[in-house]
Amino acid sequence: MAEKYTTHEASVVVPAPAHQVYSLFSHFNDFPKFMSFVKEVTYRDDQNSHWEADIIGHHKWDAKNDNWIEDRQIGWRSTNGLDNFGAVRFEPTGQNQTRVDVTINYNPPAGVLGEIGEKAGGGRHFQEALQRDLNNFAHLVEQAPPGALDPHSSSYIFHADSAAAKKKTTPRQDETM
């Protein structure tokens, strides 16, 4: 039986150059500090990471970097756990402006029941959370000093709706903070 993937997309324009936006986004282990549904991102090595997220249930997966193009694209594919893959593209739209497009594809867990859940509102909930968290990323960049390449330089990190601020991160993620 062929895998049936669901796709979600979100976009935001960030008032910063592509190199800065790409650099700030590539700090995966900081995602729980500004995202609401990502609970853990820990590195296995420079190509592999472990993820945990609470969105339409609790999900875990390991991912491998895939099709990275410096300052242009970050891609991944899962190697076990929740079956997913995707890409984040960074497109300069002006001297100090970058459009960030996120595409996430996943195979809804639980087969037909997962597909029903996706259509019954779970997909809309995920889509809204994805857009909200991408907007949070834009705020993080906006509140970082010009040219900053580390998310910790931003006054937006650990904002009130982040998983870290709500103490909803995993113990392993807490060790990295």
- Categorize the per-residue pLDDT at 176 as very low, low, confident or very high, splitting at 50, 70 and 90: low
Domain boundaries, the chain: 6-176
Of 31-35, 53-57, 139-143, where does the model show the most confidence?
139-143
pTM listed for this prediction? 0.84
Write down the mean pLDDT value for the chain: 85
Burial-class residue 1 by CB neighbours within 10 Å (0-12, 13-18, 19+): exposed
Long-range contacts of residues 143-150, Cβ cutoff 8 Å, at least 24 apart: 144/16, 144/20, 144/24, 146/16, 147/20, 148/20, 148/24, 149/20, 149/23, 149/24, 150/24, 150/27
* Backbone CA torsion sign across 18, 98, 129, 67: negative
| pLDDT: which is higher, 121 or 27 | 27
CA–CA distance, 79 with 52 (Å, rounded to integer): 14
Give the strand order in the sheet containing 48-54: 6-14, 97-106, 84-94, 73-81, 58-65, 48-54, 38-43
Nearest to 23 by CA among 71, 90, 64, 87: 71
Residues 6-176: name the CATH superfamily.
START domain (3.30.530.20)
Span 76-91, average pLDDT = 96
Of 23-32, 83-92, 145-154, where does the model show the most confidence?
83-92
What is the helix (H) or strand (E) element at residue 136, kind and residue range? helix 123-142
CA–CA distance, 75 with 35 (Å, rounded to integer): 18
DSSP secondary structure letter of residue 115: H
Provide the phi-psi class of 81: left if phi over 0, else alpha when psi is between -120 and 50, else beta.
left
CA–CA distance, 104 with 76 (Å, rounded to integer): 10
**pLDDT tens digits, one per residue of 36-46:** 889 999 999 99
Contact between 84 and 12 (Cβ < 8 Å): no
